[in-house]
Structure 1
């Protein structure tokens, strides 16, 4: 369960990770240029987050409330995305695309209103915790896609091709051990990111 093992696991799925990074970047670009119904959906997503932030701000201990919400929201979603990736990788793809589009739309909207506000959003609001949170999100999605690939490989392994059977990439027990290692480090890293977001990012955006 060590961090070195976690890094070796990531190296073994670097191809899928690269795909998730490319898809995420493409989704940011799509969010940037979105119009019509897509723009309305993204606005609703951002407005919903704004309403949640407003309620948390009004609580007795705003920073603690932000930390609890951010950590559990991100951790639960990322772990679910990993395991729901078993449904042929559909959920991780949707998760990547939606998050990328929201970020692209938000950055474009802020940039269109004020360059100073864009600086604050990126440098103060996103960068401190985002250097941990965004890579972890991509890792969770990549492993969800890997999970979907394992399922499809197992299905194919039961299909005969003449006298030859297609074999799955690795035994399921070994894959599940890897999965729990990734879950552990995803949660730990999101815990750290939530601390940074509810302290450093929070203070910078308010200051």
Structure 2
């Protein structure tokens, strides 16, 4: 657990940045829903495709599996792709925020549903677990991506000699500066991934078995 705590501590600014990016997207999607409608059409189409798939098989266990599978894939993709392309988690968090804001606005305007009720009963019951997991995955992807850039181009790092800076020979640099950090980060990432999978599983159970009941009772 020490490696996991150290990883979270190091990446904390990026985790808060993930919350901010998603929050800004949500506000913009809600307030300027018409402006961003075309931009988030692919996301809405994907959500509608999943909704149709679930409508064809309304079994809550199947619904739970589909939601869990999609969320885990999204979280792992942000972390893995973010290592090499740090802007991918930024884009994904922002677009998902836009989609949430747009859905809340659309529900209020087109379906005459209270956005507050929809937020409280339709999103937060599972969102209190799902959203932090997504924030952590996105923030971690950004953190790892910027750390890779630092490892490549930072002063005294792998490619710094190309820019006139000195570093130790490649063998020493790899053994003393890279491998110990890499091992520690990998152990932390394995533990973090297991925690995220567990949290997303619980969130999927809530979204499949509890959220629909709350929407039926308090939103419609």
TM-score range, shorter chain: 0.7 to 0.9
Check if 1:192 corresponds to 2:205: no
Distance 1:123 1:173, change over 3 A: same
Which residue does 1:35 correspond to in 2? 34
Residue 57, structure 1, aligned to residue 50, structure 2: no
- Structure 1 position 173 matched with structure 2 position 183: yes
State whether structure 2 residue 103 is matched by structure 1 residue 93: no
Q: Which runs of 5+ in 2 are unaligned?
A: none
Distance change (3 Å), C-alpha of 1:103 and 1:177: same
Equivalent residues, number: 202
Q: Is the 8 A contact 2:80 2:141 kept in 1?
A: yes
Query: For the residues of structure 1 that align with 2:185 and 2:128, how far apart are their CA atoms?
Result: 27
Aligned-pair CA distance for 1:202: 2.0
- Structure 2 residue aligned with 1:18: 16
Q: Which residue of 1 is the match for residue 213 of structure 2?
A: 203
Whether the aligned pair in 2 keeps the contact of 1:21 and 1:138 (CA below 8 Å) is yes
Aligned in 2, Cα 1:7/1:191: closer, same or farther, shift over 3 Å? farther
**Residues in 1 aligned to 2:50 and 2:40: alpha-carbon distance in whole angstroms:** 16
The 5-angstrom pairing of residues 22-171 of structure 1 reads 22-32=20-30, 33-36=32-35, 38-59=36-57, 61-113=58-110, 116-156=113-153, 157-158=157-158, 159-160=160-161, 161-163=164-166, 171=181
The alpha carbon displacement at 1:173 in A equals 1.4
Kindly provide the CA deviation profile for residues 11-48 of structure 1, in whole angstroms up to 9, marking residues without a partner as x: 33111111111111111122221435x31232453243
How far apart in 1 are the matches of 2:201 and 2:181?
31
SS at match of 1:86: helix
| Structure-1-length-normalised TM-score | 0.86
Is the contact made by 1:27 and 1:97 (CA closer than 8 Å) also made in structure 2?
A: yes
TM-score, scaled relative to structure 2: 0.81
Specify every segment of 5 or more residues in structure 1 that has no aligned partner in the other structure, as ranges: none
Cα-Cα RMSD: 2.4
Is the contact between residue 30 and residue 101 of structure 1 (CA under 8 Å) also seen in structure 2?
yes
Larger radius of gyration: 2
Structure 2 distance, partners of 1:50, 1:163, is: 54
